[in-house]
Amino acid sequence: MSLNFELSDEQRLIQDAMTKCLEPFADRKEELRKMVLVDKKFPDELWEAICGTGLMGAVIPEEYGGNGMGLLAVALGLEALAKQGYGNTLLILTAMDAACILRNGHEAMKKRYLPKIATGEMKFCFAITEPNAGSNAFRLETLAKRDGDDYLISGEKVFITGADVADRMVLVCRTTSRKEIDAAGMPKAFGLALFIVDPKAEGVTLSPLPTRGIEGMTQFMVHMDNVRVPAFDRIGDHDMGSLVLFNSLNPERILASATACGVADHCLTKAAAYANERKLFKGKPIGAYQGISHPLAKVKCELEAVRLMTYRAAWAFDQDEHPGKVGSFANMAKYLAAEMAIEAVDRAIQTLGGYGFSEEYGLIYYYESVRLLRTAPVTAELILNFVAEHELGLPRSY
């Protein structure tokens, strides 16, 4: 059969495992919510429970300690978690970094890092954004200079999520400066490389940024001053990081889409339950009014479409389809997921009236997190640029 929309037994097990692993926390929802939202503490217990299911091992083959189920399984797992109101950005970042190491790292690197990621023992963050290079990665200035068997890395990254709790960050650098490249007339995509760096290494300074959008996690300025990193920790070849980078961003976009689908589902369920209960005129629930039901129904239609697109993108990645094709699916899924999830949260809040803003119902917290998806990890405008150019063959304006 060429097209099959049935999930496998294994994939259903992953979804069920997410429900089961959260059961021990059912009575402590309030306590955990306060810990994440108010105290901004990383929920170690939850991380351990989630990773205990093997979710982080899904992108990792058995030979490196994983279960080899693939990115689609991680997407299903993250969606199932978000559907129950739980999410953790470091799960997305760790899974994307694992996929990057698996597809581009050397054998000894895979043996060193992947088994620890599979068990949840190691958390990873990802650092590409710089103050002078946001949407244009080719402008980044963080420089990794070769020094014998090591590199010395200096530069500055901004908005790096979870750099305080991550054991390692995947850091995108220049191995040849843009100035040298431009002077030699070489393509701007040349001269990049990715490294695995310990955020606690000597020479790294983390400065917290008062940023909103990701619950329970802080963004940092990461300042690096001659940080010594062994060449062992370079992912891919010197100067040849462009392809490594762009292939590695696709899983992040796919997993962000899956999470957005889960959040939208969660909010629609809450809204529908409330709309069935709340009665104000002639004993009818407010859900009987089409002003309430139609916007929710419209988002439900959109959710189902985005979910298919997200699974399609994850499947394409797992099938190792051409990276350009995976990139198109991943970008389109992430664009649609952000817009759909923003609408889902907005309509759910409207359904609950004033209670949409109450901390107890919790919908208002999602407002910021889904809105972030229109901007990060890549902006809606940059995705539309990509689709216009690569899918429609239109000229670049920039």
Binding site for ligand FAD (CB under 6 A): 125-129, 134-135, 159-161, 211, 213-214, 219, 372, 375-379, 381-382, 385, 398
Cis upstream peptide for 323 (omega within 30°): no
Please report how close the Cβ of residue 200 comes to ligand FAD at its closest, in angstroms. Answer: 17
With the CA atoms of 241, 242, 246 and 251 taken in that order, what torsion angle do they form, in degrees rounded to the nearest 10? 0
Minimum CB distance to ligand FAD smaller for 156 or for 239: 156
Minimum CB distance to ligand FAD smaller for 159 or for 329: 159
Contact 268, 349 (CB under 8 A): no
Please report how close the Cβ of residue 213 comes to ligand FAD at its closest, in angstroms. Answer: 4
Please report how close the Cβ of residue 40 comes to ligand FAD at its closest, in angstroms. Answer: 13
Minimum CB distance to ligand FAD smaller for 295 or for 377: 377
Please report how close the Cβ of residue 108 comes to ligand FAD at its closest, in angstroms. Answer: 26
Please report how close the Cβ of residue 119 comes to ligand FAD at its closest, in angstroms. Answer: 23
Contact 272, 91 (CB under 8 A): no
Minimum CB distance to ligand FAD smaller for 127 or for 224: 127
The pairing of strands 168-174 and 124-127 is parallel
Angle formed by the axes of helices 323-351 and 363-372, to 10°? 150
Minimum CB distance to ligand FAD smaller for 350 or for 385: 385
List, as one string, the DSSP characters of 239-301. TBHHHHHHHHHHHHHHHHHHHHHHHHHHHHHHHHHHHHH-EEETTEEGGGSHHHHHHHHHHHH
Please report how close the Cβ of residue 135 comes to ligand FAD at its closest, in angstroms. Answer: 3
Q: Residue 87: which of 143, 46, 41, 142 has the closest Cα?
A: 46
341: three-class secondary structure by DSSP: helix
List, as one string, the DSSP characters of 52-102. TTTGGGTTS-GGGTS----HHHHHHHHHHHHHTT---HHHHHHHHHHHHHH
Minimum CB distance to ligand FAD smaller for 160 or for 268: 160
Minimum CB distance to ligand FAD smaller for 196 or for 372: 372
Q: Which amino acid is at 35?
A: M
Q: How far apart are CA 323 and CA 311, in angstroms?
A: 16
349: three-class secondary structure by DSSP: helix
Strands (E), the chain: 124-127, 143-147, 150-161, 168-174, 192-197, 204-209, 219-230, 234-235, 279-281, 284-285
Please report how close the Cβ of residue 372 comes to ligand FAD at its closest, in angstroms. Answer: 5
Please report how close the Cβ of residue 132 comes to ligand FAD at its closest, in angstroms. Answer: 9
Minimum CB distance to ligand FAD smaller for 136 or for 226: 136
Minimum CB distance to ligand FAD smaller for 221 or for 382: 382
Please report how close the Cβ of residue 260 comes to ligand FAD at its closest, in angstroms. Answer: 15
Residue nearest to ligand FAD (CB): 134
Q: Which amino acid is at 88?
A: N
